[in-house]
Amino acid sequence: MATRYRDVMIDLSGVLYQGHEAITGAQAALQQLREAGFGVGFLTNTTRRPIGAVVAQLDALGFKISSDEVLTAAQAARHHLETAHVGAHLLVHPNLLPELENLRGQQPQAVLVGDAGEHFTYQSLNVAFRVLMEASEPRLIGLGDNRYFADTSGLSLDMGPFIKALAYAAAIEPTIIGKPSRSFFEAALHRLDATPETTVMIGDDLASDVGGAQHAGMTGVLVRTGKYRSSDEHHPDIRPDHIADDFPAAVRWLLNSR
């Protein structure tokens, strides 16, 4: 392989861990990447917990990661809404509220949707819908458009379906802030001081991770863990540059490509 990769972006849930357990060998593989001199960043749309809690959990599982290395969709959304000076109604997981509370506004013109999980109720969706219908210039903003994720009980609905629901009900186009939006990958490249041509994204979400990275000019590697399904290997539009059994296998492929 001619490309000399220099930087690696890594999705968290489903790649380094799944449910409450680390992917076997992932800690050592991450360490190898760092020792081989790769720049490393972490990109996540996961929005059920503040990033500090995610990093603490990873630390407990044996991963050495600094909060500074993690770019979350919530951080990008805060930047987006503050720049636009628009008050928001928040339909996000309660654990994420402390991080976003100051975005709330009287007569909100925007609805911000994260992975609210069981807090997606008929009632909470109705409230968000009515905000959109009453706003003079409604904006529907999604932290991501992920379809589903894998947890201990199986596949579960992520935020994407609920954003589609509200978009259809209120007849407006949503803006997606996190993966797969190009601006999110570009912000991550900027933070790593990296160029797309020499950067690899490793993820378990074909559309958000692999498709999004490729759309931003990066190399997209799919792992067969987390929400991966065999049908991902026959998608009509998105073809990973490489498919690895798991994160350690993806790292071996990267190290061999040097």
Site string for a second copy, 69-108 (x = CB under 8 A): ----------------------------------------
User: Judged by CB under 8 A, does residue 253 bind a second copy?
Assistant: no
78 or 179, CB closer to a second copy? 179
User: Judged by CB under 8 A, does residue 122 bind a second copy?
Assistant: yes
Identify residues 130-169 at the interface with a second copy (CB under 8 A). 130, 133, 147-148, 154-158, 160-162, 164-169
- CA dist 64 and 153 (Å) reads 27
Tokens representing 103 are: 């975005």
22 or 97, CB closer to a second copy? 97
Region for residue 174 given its phi and psi (left: phi exceeds 0; alpha: psi -120 to 50; beta: otherwise): beta
Tokens representing 53 are: 């809690």
Tokens representing 109 are: 């013109």
Q: What is the DSSP letter of 23?
A: P
7 or 232, CB closer to a second copy? 232
The sheet with strand 219-223 has its strands ordered as 70-72, 39-44, 7-10, 199-203, 219-223, 242-244
List residues near a second copy by CB under 8 A: 117-123, 125-126, 129-130, 133, 147-148, 154-158, 160-162, 164-169, 171
